[in-house]
Amino acid sequence: MKTRKLVTLLAAVAASNGVWATNGTMPHGYGIKAQGMGGVGIALPQDSLAAANNPAGMVNVGERLDVGLAVVMPKIHADMGGTDFDGGGVKAIPIPELGYNHMLAADRSVGISVYGNGVTTKYDANISGGPTSGNDGSNLMQIIMSPSFSMKLNEVHSVGVALNIAYQDFKITGVPDGLGKEDQGHDSSWGYGIKLGWLGQLTDKLSLGVQYTSKTKMGKLDKYRYLLAGQGEFDIPENYGIGIAYRATSGLTLAADYLRINWGDIKSLANHLTSPGAFGADNGPGFGWKNQDVLRIGASYALSASTTLRAGYSHGSQIVPAGDTRLNYLAPVTPQDHLTLGGTWAVGQASEVSAVYGYVFREKVKGDGASTGADVAMGQHWVGIAYGMKF
């Protein structure tokens, strides 16, 4: 019952404020500890948010509860035909997270990880020129609840499975759809997917992990069926990755992940601005996003029995094509590089506090072709804190 109330509270906070992401609609990592290492987590489970990165890791984190909150401070900008538009309407966005893991036995666990995706923009003007609306903006919030089961097959191998239950809330203001209607208000839908994982402790020092996440098929957003390609389609994309963790010394751990995110499988995100169909059609205009390759590297160092320090770096391939910037001012997910610092401090025998700071380097994409004269850019600061309790 307490866990259910916490999930409801997290969803309410996220729905009221939105989420800001930089790998498409996704943040650079899930879990405050992983975020402090550039998002690394496929082969290095550190808390009960592990199911978001690789469900096989949950059996290795023990009985624990984690509650966290990140605050994102974005700086967005659009230059349309020589006129600058400021996205300063979005100052700070809270992003909550929750994880709980219960050990059924020494080699089996069940748990739940709750985390978010999304994009929020709010400009100081009506950029699209819609006849009746005010300033342009967008708000996509996705809350993913991942109940998981993981087990150790033997001393080396563990496997896990998680059911991704997703809820999304969507709103665009100031932009006419294919029928000339705008400001349709909030629309929402539910969807389901699955995540599978394997984790191998190959030696005392070396771990490998693999995860696969299916596309989360979301219900269509009917209010935006004449704007979003695929009659209001907005699914969460398939992704898969591999990770490695190496315990170089008793205190130092080095880790890296490679992640592939298939944005190109979702019509509303992958179709180009110049697609021939009408807005909302299967072949209608979209954001033009490309599939993305993400490389994350990180390090953690146990400075003492009570203090662990972390650092990391993440680089993602650019998903916003220069020919599609004219629509991507609504979701200027242009950044590619993240630099992070973090740490964990014990505050008792069974409790700890973790923190992260991330700097997301500003990246600008200059439009060409059908988007000539439309330039978009974004950078951000990311600050987060989490409380963990071991049972």
Q: 330-356: per-residue pLDDT in tens?
A: 889 999 999 999 999 999 899 999 999
Least confident of 89-103, 151-165, 194-208, 343-357: 89-103
Average of per-residue pLDDT across 25-33: 95
Average of per-residue pLDDT across 93-98: 89
Residue 288's pLDDT is 96
Question: Does 247 or 84 have the greater pLDDT score?
Answer: 247
Residue pair 210/185 in contact by the 8 Å Cβ criterion = no
Model confidence at 131, pLDDT cuts 50, 70, 90, reads: low
Average of per-residue pLDDT across 81-101: 83
Model confidence at 7, pLDDT cuts 50, 70, 90, reads: very low
Question: Does 155 or 3 have the greater pLDDT score?
Answer: 155
Q: Specify the residue for token string 């060409």.
A: 368
Percent of the chain beyond pLDDT 70?
Answer: 92
Cα 264 from Cα 289, distance rounded (Å): 6
Residue 134's pLDDT is 66
Q: Give domain 2-390's CATH superfamily.
A: Outer membrane protein transport protein (OMPP1/FadL/TodX) (2.40.160.60)
Average of per-residue pLDDT across 229-250: 97
Model confidence at 49, pLDDT cuts 50, 70, 90, reads: very high
Residue 89's pLDDT is 58
Model confidence at 14, pLDDT cuts 50, 70, 90, reads: very low
Could you tell me which of 280, 282, 235 has the C-alpha nearest to residue 261? 235
Percent of the chain beyond pLDDT 90?
Answer: 78
Residue 354's pLDDT is 98
Q: Examine the pLDDT at 18 and tell me if it is beyond 50.
A: no
Q: Examine the pLDDT at 86 and tell me if it is beyond 90.
A: no
| Prediction pTM value | 0.92
Q: Examine the pLDDT at 123 and tell me if it is beyond 90.
A: no
C-alpha of 51 from chain center: 14
Q: Examine the pLDDT at 289 and tell me if it is beyond 80.
A: yes
Model confidence at 9, pLDDT cuts 50, 70, 90, reads: very low
Model confidence at 372, pLDDT cuts 50, 70, 90, reads: very high
Residue 252's pLDDT is 98
Least confident of 176-185, 234-243, 287-296: 176-185
Tens of pLDDT along 244-271? 999 999 999 999 999 999 999 999 999 9
Average pLDDT, the chain: 91
Residue 130's pLDDT is 60
Model confidence at 135, pLDDT cuts 50, 70, 90, reads: confident
